[in-house]
Structure 1
Amino acid sequence: LQRVKNDLESMLSTVMLQNEHLEEDLKREQQWYKEQEDILHTLNNMEEDTENQVGQPSVTRYFYKLQSKMLKLQEHKEELLNALSEILENYFPHPVSPKKENSSVKPTVELITLHEILEILVNKLISIPHEPYITINDSFWPPYIEMLLRFGIALRHPEDPKRIRLEAFHQ
């Protein structure tokens, strides 16, 4: 019984020592938490003061932000057009008019590539979004136009079948 009592007393002293360490840790954590709250409060006050001093953001700042966004969009557009041109060069060669063996007459119209057609459509859609239609003339190879229409890449004008526009996929 004496041995059990000694064991329990030693265990009690160990637990009390651990309890003291835990209380010290708790006090340190509470102090750290209070300091963090004070820092947060100070930063919030500084932010409010700064917003009050600045007032409304300047027009030049908006202009520069808008200009930087426009440059990023232009770079992205160029990257996409370059990737598109590589694909089109590989899979859609330049259209060649059928030549008659006895004919020495040169074709009156130079046919444009699918890449050029798509570039015209994209540029028109970006530059004039409210009127993105282009007029189809003899330089547009009809199989390319038909392919663009069938696959939903381009749409005909509702009133003029000689005009098409790029489908606005971004809307």
Structure 2
Amino acid sequence: AEKLPEIMNDSVCPVDAKEELLRECENIWKEMEKCQSKLTLLTAETMPDSDAKVSLLLTRMQALRAEYYQWQKRNPELISTNPEVLLLLGEEELQRVKKELEIVLSAVQSKNEKLKEDLEREQQWRDEQEQILYTFREVEEEMKKEAVTDSEKRVFQELKNQMSELKEYKKKLMNALGEFLEEHFPLPEKNGNAKKKKYSEKPSEQLLTMHEILEFYLPQHVLKFSILVFQVLLNQLICTPHEPYVTVDDSFWPPYLELLLRSGIVLRHPEDPNRIRLEAFHE
């Protein structure tokens, strides 16, 4: 330990140490040449092309196994017992290991820098993709809302059109029903008999239709009820002429029903007073 600083400061090795080191290197080199010649003889044998890889692997395995056995039998030998030689070799080995480690460290650092750049780039790409996905989702939600709104508007417009058509159809139906009642079921005269209107007679300008009379003399709810009763009785008479009677229930307004009975427009069943029918004026 006391001689170590002196050797480190001395730039020229002693002559004896150098000569001894050279001799040992020559001996080692000769042994390496012998091993190389043996390996050359072993690998010089011809091998089939089909089993070339297998044979090569087997040869390498045998060589490694032989080398392993030799290393097990061999005891470690010191290159030299001279401390100066050992110190010089140790310094060279340390310098070599140091350089290799510096190279490895530089490679690892550069690789880490590259990985860091790749990571930042991937994170930026991921953020961009998330932003694009968020934008697409917003657009999808807006399109769904617009589609629902358009669908609701279209359905509402269709319902509105259907209501208008139904109102127009109802108006035409009411007019047709009023004309039908006026023609086939006119109001009774003073003597209590209803006179059927002839087809050849021309309507007087002063006469009112049944629908107009009902609208003039009856309230709106009574008018609707009367039309409903006429529809039920008329449908029963036309659809089932052999059974024109309808059973009276709570939906028939008693005062108006009594008015129809007294006017001779509606008749009761001779055996069942709860069943009524429309007078067959057309017969």
The answer, yes or no, to whether TM exceeds 0.5 is no
Q: Which has the higher helix share?
A: 2
Kindly indicate whether structure 1 or structure 2 has the higher relative contact order, using CA contacts under 8 Å at least 6 residues apart.
Answer: 1
Q: Higher Cα Rg: structure 1 or 2?
A: 2
What is the TM-score normalised by the length of structure 2? 0.26
